[in-house]
Amino acid sequence: MRTIKRCLTFMMLGLSVLAGTAYAEWQALPDTAPAPKDNPTTPEKVELGKMLYFDKRLSQNGTVSCQSCHNVMEGGDDSRPTSVGVEAQLGSRNAPTVFNSAFHASQFWDGRAASLEEQAKGPITNPVEMGMPDLSLAMERVRQLDGYAPYFTAAFGTDEITIDRIAQAIAAYERTLITPDTPYDRFVKGDSEALTARQQRGMETFAAVGCQACHSGANFSGQMDPDTPRQLQRFPVFASSRFVKEYGLMEDKGRFESTGKEADKHMWKVPTLRNIALTAPYFHNGKVNTLEEAVRVMGSAQLNQDLSDQQVADIAAFLRSLTGEGLKQTMPHLPPTPGGMLQ
């Protein structure tokens, strides 16, 4: 009984029990996201980036934008197992939420992009996403839209339109898509009533069973420093778990698909758990439909533990406390399309 009381006391101080003896600090999410020195966040750049984020004309046939797969009006994703790109093509991986992506040290499921700026260029030329033949054509497409020039001038000082500036503006907008004021954040800042008893129990269980080994830090995604080498985690660790075959968790070989290196097989970036209640279905292939089932899968395939129904329910309740208030977004006004551009 004394041990239980001690654990609860530390939890109320914003601390967690890890491995029974060591204490790891729970962290609240910062109110603003960090920006690289060569791309400081400004209101003008954010405004331009938002326009480009919503503009479907960055895709080959004018049907897909960043917003199509990462819906900022909902959970920052598209609620599909895998996304639909140009010509109704299906992608091979689940669209991760764009919310709080600024706190990842690398981008994409396999961490192949080192920054939001680098990531922003990828979907434009992906043949099953936005489908542009190359980045130079995407840049020319934006140049043909005369109404963009004043916004580039306001954001960058001149009206020169380059693919790097397009990516920098989109990244600047994405760095504003953060959700810091969750019940969990209020709890670790001292509001003892911000979490229910079940959520507090789930918070303790989350730490006790080992979830924090990967889902650590303020963003519950592990490493957050883009200036250090990117760190990926193997998933699944326990291939013998019944869930691995049931949900096809090893069909996609992760980072290996990009590098061809044997050591990169089934290596993945740790996804954020913030707003996870809004982003079903789950995992890189989008084959798990409920949060509770996702917790069971992780317990078995990653931690080699058969979690009880109560443990699952408690952890899921805690994860729901990571849901932030909906971001207030308005649709941007975009420059008109010249006749014949998309024919």
User: Residue 60: is its pLDDT beyond 80?
Assistant: yes
* Position 328 confidence tier, pLDDT thresholds 50, 70, 90: confident
Q: Examine the pLDDT at 18 and tell me if it is beyond 70.
A: no
- Given 25, 87, 117, 129, the catalytic residue: 129
- Say if residue 22's pLDDT is above 50: no
> Which pLDDT band holds residue 230 (cuts at 50, 70, 90)?
low
Exposure of 212 in the CB half-sphere (CA atoms within 13 A): 22
**Tens digit of each residue's pLDDT (9 = 90 or more) over 135-168:** 999 999 999 999 999 999 999 999 999 999 999 9
Q: Is residue 129 flagged as an active site residue?
A: yes
- What's the pLDDT tens digit per position in 272-302? 999 999 999 999 999 999 999 999 999 999 9
Rounded to whole angstroms, how far apart are CA atoms 3 and 340?
72
CA distances from 181 to 117, 236, 289 (A): 26, 32, 26
What's the pTM?
0.91
The phi and psi torsions of 233 (rounded to 5 degrees) equal -125, 145
In this prediction, residue 227 carries a pLDDT of: 63
Question: Across all residues in the chain, what is the average pLDDT?
Answer: 91
Query: Percentage of the chain with pLDDT > 90?
Result: 86
Q: Is the Cβ–Cβ distance between 241 and 279 less than 8 Å?
A: no
Q: Is 314 exposed, middle or buried (0-12, 13-18, 19+ CB in 10 A)?
A: buried
Q: Which domains does the chain have, with CATH numbers?
A: 2-30+180-320 (1.10.760.10), 43-174 (1.10.760.10)
